[in-house]
Amino acid sequence: LFAGRVDFLKSAPGLQFLPGPTVPEIALAGRSNVGKSSLINAVTNRKALARTSNTPGRTQELNFFDVGEPLAVRLCDMPGYGFAEAPKDMVKRWRFLVNDYLRGRQVLKRAIVLIDSRHGIKPVDREIMDMLDGAAVSYQLVLTKIDKIKASALDATVAATLEEAMKRPAAHPGLIATSSETGRGIPELRTAMLAAALA
């Protein structure tokens, strides 16, 4: 499915611009620069479908991608959070947009929460996890950029992340460790996304 048709659908700066709620959606959330856009490119086998950048906070809208022919899943690339230079207004806007989307979106089947494997879960990640728990949106935790750390450090991060995830009501069991660079964990993530969309 992910090797088939994938198209950028639209960018929604506000809830009034959301696509019609007709297709199961999967949303990607994570700190700015954690690798959301890169992961969308990796799971869909595209080089530059979602714009990646070194500038944190580049993505500020909800960006939708259609996957499959016939259309089967819609991916939502959510704006990144938690970068130091973010103006207060922008943080406020982010909170409203994301919270409203998470609470009001019936077709949202799962969120994927990306955690940088070098840093583990940070307070800003707990904020989005709190929002997801509050909205009762089931979420899958995914570690990113595992090509950048040693296996021993990865083991420690996996253990700490799983321990915290187990205490959270809406967290889906398990943890997928990925690298968009090497492709590790990408097939597992695809499978998890498909299962969530079809459930």
The answer to the question of residue 37 lying near Mg ion (CB under 5 A) is yes
Closer residue to ligand GTP, CB minimum distance, 132 or 149: 149
Looking at beta carbons, which residue is closest to Mg ion?
37
Count of H-run helices and E-run strands, the chain: 5, 7
Residue from 32, 44, 157, 161 touching ligand GTP (CB under 6 A): that is 32
Per DSSP (E only), the strands in 36-159 are 62-67, 73-77, 108-116, 139-144
Count of CB atoms situated within 10 Å of the CB of 69: 11
Closer residue to Mg ion, CB minimum distance, 142 or 165: 142
The answer to the question of residue 80 lying near ligand GTP (CB under 6 A) is yes
Give the interface size with Mg ion as a residue count (CB under 5 A): 3
Distance CA 108, CA 77 (A): 13
Q: How far is the CB of 25 from Mg ion (least distance, A)?
A: 17
Contact 75, 49 (CB under 8 A): no
Count of CB atoms situated within 10 Å of the CB of 90: 15
Of the listed pieces 14-22, 55-63, 65-73, 144-152, which binds Mg ion according to CB under 5 A? Answer: 55-63
Give the interface size with ligand GTP as a residue count (CB under 6 A): 23
The answer to the question of residue 180 lying near ligand GTP (CB under 6 A) is yes
Q: Which two tokens stand for residue 20?
A: 């019609």
Bridge-partner residues for 110, per DSSP?
Answer: 26
Question: Interface residues with Mg ion (CB under 5 A)?
Answer: 36-37, 59
